[in-house]
Amino acid sequence: MRHSRIFLNAALLAPAALILVAGLPIHASDQDSRIESTIKNSYNFKAYLAGDNLSVKSDDGVVTLNGTVALYYHKALAEETASNTAGVKSVKNEIEVKTEQPAERSDGWITMKVKGVLTFHKNVSATDTDVETNGGVVTLKGKANSQAQKELTTEYVKDVEGVKEVSNQMTVSGERRRATVGEQVDDASITAQIKTSLLFHRSTHSLATKVSTKDGVVHIWGEASNAAERDLVSKLATDINGVKRVENHMNVK
């Protein structure tokens, strides 16, 4: 009789256990689907990486990125965006750069980095600026909305690694660029843009910085060689789309 009671209890508990076990994959699958959707619909994937051929797969929070990109820094941007998405534990970046990239420190390499710098900062314009590099001397042509924008463009380009001199021949049009109505930039995209942008600048590319963003408010930690370097990090981060405020907690050595 006692054995019968034990077997009966076990039989009653078994279906409940199966329900709990069966429920775990469903929950994990929902979470992974949410992660994949969030990454694919992020600002960076829809704006900067839209022309690339990328796939995103999440397995229990471990995200694998596959596909091809046209520019080498798009690979880093995709990884940073995924890494800073809520629920992501780690990222396997298996993206390949489909086109041959310019040799390091060549004129083509410098031009590519300059265009990258101008792409991420909101107070300059990559689309309205033509970039040519010859022997490390960068010539800028095109239109600037104001004299301040023209000067800021020069300032940013001068701080790109490999640039020896900047000849800014841009004309000031006096026309204001229209803001995109309803354009929202998610926190993961903001963090990724800041970290990628800092790698382009000569004064900040080697800094070990930690960046986090919450509702457009950016927090930065790390070490700066001097106050000027610390201030530059704040300035560059503030000039990223979607940033409302920057709290710089960096220590000066």
**Whether residue 228 sits in one domain with residue 197:** yes
Q: What is the pLDDT of residue 28?
A: 65
90 and 47 in one domain? yes
Query: Looking at the predicted structure, is the pLDDT value of residue 1 above 70?
Result: no
Residue 122 lies in a domain: yes
Res 247 pLDDT > 80: yes
Which domain covers residue 36, as residue numbers?
Answer: 30-101
Same domain, 215 and 245: yes
Do 198 and 91 meet the contact criterion of CB atoms below 8 Å apart?
no
Last residue of a domain, one of 63, 83, 101: 101
87: nearest Cα among 64, 46, 58: 58
Structural domain contains residue 43: yes
Instruction: Identify whether 11 is part of a domain.
Output: no
Contact 45, 82 (CB under 8 A): no
| Tokens 């998610």 belong to residue | 186
* Neighbour tally for 94: CB within 10 Å: 11
pLDDT at 34: 97
Q: Are residues 95 and 38 in the same domain?
A: yes
State which amino acid sits at residue 88. V
Domain boundary among 85, 101, 117: 101
pTM of this prediction?
Answer: 0.84
pLDDT at 7 over 80: no
Residue 47 sits in a domain whose CATH number is 3.30.1340.30
The answer for residues whose C-beta is within 8 angstroms of residue 22's C-beta and 6 or more apart is none
Q: Which of 101, 119, 150 is the last residue of a domain?
A: 101
The helix/strand/coil state of 25 is helix
- Over residues 16-55, the pLDDT tens digits come to 444 444 444 546 689 999 999 999 999 999 999 999 999 9
What total of structural domains would you count in the chain? 3
168 and 152 in a common domain: yes
pLDDT in tens, 117-172: 999 999 999 999 999 999 999 999 999 999 999 999 999 999 998 999 999 999 99
Q: Are 102 and 96 in contact (CB under 8 A)?
A: no
Which pLDDT score is estimated for 147? 95
211 and 165, same domain (yes or no): no
Q: Identify the pLDDT of residue 104.
A: 87
Asked if pLDDT for residue 62 goes beyond 60, the answer is yes
At residue 150's C-alpha, the angle toward residues 248 and 243, to 5°, is 30
pLDDT at 101: 87
Question: What local confidence, expressed as pLDDT, does residue 207 receive?
Answer: 80
Spatial contact of 205 and 176, defined as CB atoms under 8 Å apart: no
pLDDT one-digit tens code per residue, 167-222: 999 999 876 654 443 468 999 999 999 999 998 888 887 788 999 999 999 999 99
